[in-house]
Amino acid sequence: MSTIKSRLRREKIAKILMQLAGIGITGSLFLIIGIILFKGLPYLTWDMISQTPQGGFYIGKEGGILNAILGSFYLAGLSTILACIIGLPIAIYLNVYIAQSSSLARVSKLLFDILFGIPSIVYGAIAFSIMIALGIRASLLGGVITITLLTIPIVVRTLDELLKTIPLDLKNTTTSLGATPWQTAQILLKYIKPGIFTALLLAFGRAIGDVAGVLLTTGFSDNLPLYLDEPAATLPLAIFFQLSSPIPEVQGRAYASALILTFIILIIVICTHILASRQKKHRL
């Protein structure tokens, strides 16, 4: 047995190592945001947010990325709504209608984990080949369908975790009063209301940031997205394309676009955080 001194020294070293690891991990977040802010801010102008690409935008002339910002919001908004329409009933079914120990519940859990883990590029590739088979060209609609598939598992998983936090008593009380499962579900939904918005925001955040899924299915367009059956620009893709340009001015705009996306994501995260703390209070 080593002396108490060396044991305490080891304790100290381990603690310092752990602190360094923690600082490294949280530091990486500030490094990412800091660098994007530093590089993007000089190029961020009002024109960037308020205009569509004009002639010669991609060689560094005037214009903005309003088309991509709007496209991303449409795409993420529509897919989030669709994912909620499909995901909410599934989460309710899994928690109210069937027993947690049933094999269907277990299999569902695994399969949703897998759906959650399927990379968006695979969703994109599948959707793309289906679209080719049906003769549909890359369009906002194609993107919405792909991203909806991508976000359903997020909605289901978040709501599932939320519904699990509800005390069993509440469920049992309503059932013993003679409520049908659907009536029970309605009461539970009231209970987790702020949490539903959290799930929606999480899905929205993932949807607005995805590139691989929209790369093949949504295409790109310099026009404002007006119709579902036309290609639409998306913000992450705009960043990706502008970044691959050799012209410094265009690259700078990519950084500014990245900064805009960072702002959007930060706003979403802050809203999620506020809603989550409200859910805690809501819980009584």
Residues between 199 and 238 that touch another protein (CB under 8 A): 202, 205-206, 208-212, 215-216, 236
Cβ atoms 47, 62 nearer than 8 A: yes
Q: How far is the CB of 198 from another protein (least distance, A)?
A: 11
Question: Which residue lies nearer to another protein by CB, 226 or 270?
Answer: 270
Token digits of residue 71: 């496209």
Token digits of residue 284: 């009584």
DSSP state of 266: H
Dihedral sign, CA of 250, 252, 255, 260? negative
Segment lying near another protein (by CB under 8 A), choices 42-50, 55-63, 86-94, 189-197: 86-94
Question: Which residue lies nearer to another protein by CB, 18 or 41?
Answer: 18
Q: Which of 77, 112, 33, 74 is nearest to 201 (CA)?
A: 77
Q: How far is the CB of 55 from another protein (least distance, A)?
A: 26
Segment lying near another protein (by CB under 8 A), choices 42-50, 52-60, 63-71, 102-110: 102-110
Q: Token match 């900064």: residue?
A: 259
What is the spatial distance between Cα 77 and Cα 75, in angstroms, rounded to a whole number?
A: 6
Count the residues of the shown chain that bind another protein, applying the rule CB under 8 A.
82
Phi then psi for 246, rounded to 5 degrees? -80, -10
Dihedral sign, CA of 257, 260, 266, 269? negative
Under rule CB under 8 A, residue 189 binds another protein: no
* Contact map string, positions 40 to 79, toward another protein, x by CB under 8 A: ----------------------------------------
Indicate which single residue of 86, 166, 189, 224 sits in contact with another protein (rule: CB under 8 A): 86
Residues 249-268, interacting with another protein (CB under 8 A) = 254-255, 258, 261-262, 265-266, 268
Residue type, 209: G
Segment lying near another protein (by CB under 8 A), choices 4-12, 58-66, 163-171, 220-228: 4-12
What is the spatial distance between Cα 45 and Cα 58, in angstroms, rounded to a whole number?
A: 16
Question: Which residue lies nearer to another protein by CB, 26 or 172?
Answer: 26
Q: How far is CA 106 from the centre of its chain?
A: 25
Question: Which residue lies nearer to another protein by CB, 57 or 128?
Answer: 128
DSSP state of 97: I
Question: Which residue lies nearer to another protein by CB, 36 or 166?
Answer: 36
Residues 105-134, interacting with another protein (CB under 8 A) = 107-115, 117-126, 128-130
Cβ atoms 154, 213 nearer than 8 A: no
DSSP state of 101: T
Q: How far is the CB of 271 from another protein (least distance, A)?
A: 11
